[in-house]
Amino acid sequence: MSFDPSGRARFDVTHDSAPTETLLCGFSEFGLAGLTAADYLVKQLDLTETGHVTTAELPPITPFSGGKPRHHTRLFSRDDLDLTVLVGELFIPLPMATSFADAVLDWAEGAVGEVAVLSGIPVTHGPDEHRTFYIATQDYHERRLEGVDLPPMGGGFLEGVNGALMQRGLDADLRAAVFATPAHAQTPDVTAALRLLDAVERVYGLDVDTGPLESFADEVKHHYAELAARMQSAEEHRQPEDRMYM
């Protein structure tokens, strides 16, 4: 199925089955927290690839793992679970965000009733603020967030794909939310991804075994701690040059 809204950048959605009521998205953005969380959900919930998104408007990338290539933006679902997960490994530039959101949601029109995005944002607060926050339309809040212990994000702006999807939620009969958590620049920020998964579990009542990802988070944390220690040690042992200036 192809879409070319208003002559803008074109994205093609190819699918084997219709989407479900809920579309949950993780994109290639800051810290890769949302992408990591979405990809982990696919594996832990044993979802099957049911479609993908392509475009000729952006420089092509073809991810691969274990020698096997895959589409950069993929859709996953399962017959007995009312959830479709979008895993987007291709970075969508700001000028193309609306076209991408329109293509996905036009394809999903009539089937998807709500869309939620898992997102990492640059760290601007202290450790106490390392929580998951929400930005949600009123109908999403009434449907999913009543009684859930998640704080709203105080203020700011959504841009890119997140902003475009939320705008559709404001303009159309579509419940929409973005779950955002502070993430660090080193990728992937697995700890941030774990916070997003915790929010998904609470909001959607899913049972996700995060043990393997927690172990990986410890490995990543240990790696960066060792790297920082080596850099600090090298700096401390660097001898100043013995020069005299007249």
Distance of alpha carbon 129 from alpha carbon 118, whole angstroms? 17
Q: What is the pLDDT of residues 144-154, one digit of tens each?
A: 999 999 999 98
- Average the pLDDT over 232-245 and give the result: 58
Domain membership of residue 18 (yes or no) is: yes
Domain membership of residue 197 (yes or no) is: yes
Domain membership of residue 242 (yes or no) is: no
3-state secondary structure of 14: strand
**Residue 108 to residues 84, 112, 188, 208, 209, Cα–Cα distance (Å):** 10, 6, 29, 26, 29
Domain membership of residue 199 (yes or no) is: yes
Q: Mind giving me the DSSP string for 51-66? A: EEEE-SSS-----EET
Angle at 113 between CA 81 and CA 193, to 5 degrees: 60
pLDDT band of residue 242 (cuts 50, 70, 90) is: low
- Side chain identity at 163, as an amino acid letter? G
Contact 174, 140 (CB under 8 A): no
- Side chain identity at 125, as an amino acid letter? H
Distance of alpha carbon 138 from alpha carbon 117, whole angstroms? 16
Q: What pLDDT is recorded for position 185? A: 79
Diameter over CA atoms, the chain: 81
CA torsion, ordered 38, 39, 43, 44, to nearest 10 deg: -40
How many structural domains are present in the chain? 1
User: Integer distance in angstroms from the first to the last C-alpha of the chain?
Assistant: 75
Task: Say which range, 73-82, 155-164, 171-180, 223-232, has the weakest mean pLDDT.
Answer: 223-232
Dihedral pair phi/psi, residue 116, rounded to 5°: -130, 140
Mean pLDDT, all residues of the chain: 86
pLDDT band of residue 127 (cuts 50, 70, 90) is: low
- Side chain identity at 170, as an amino acid letter? L
Domain membership of residue 232 (yes or no) is: no
Domain membership of residue 233 (yes or no) is: no
Residue 182 has pLDDT above 50, yes or no: yes
The reported pTM is: 0.84
pLDDT band of residue 78 (cuts 50, 70, 90) is: very high
Domain membership of residue 239 (yes or no) is: no
Domain membership of residue 190 as a residue range: 2-210
Distance of alpha carbon 154 from alpha carbon 134, whole angstroms? 9
- Side chain identity at 181, as an amino acid letter? T
Task: Say which range, 7-16, 56-65, 234-243, has the weakest mean pLDDT.
Answer: 234-243
- CATH code assigned at 7: 3.40.50.10900
Angle at 188 between CA 226 and CA 95, to 5 degrees: 140
Domain membership of residue 39 (yes or no) is: yes
Contact 75, 49 (CB under 8 A): yes
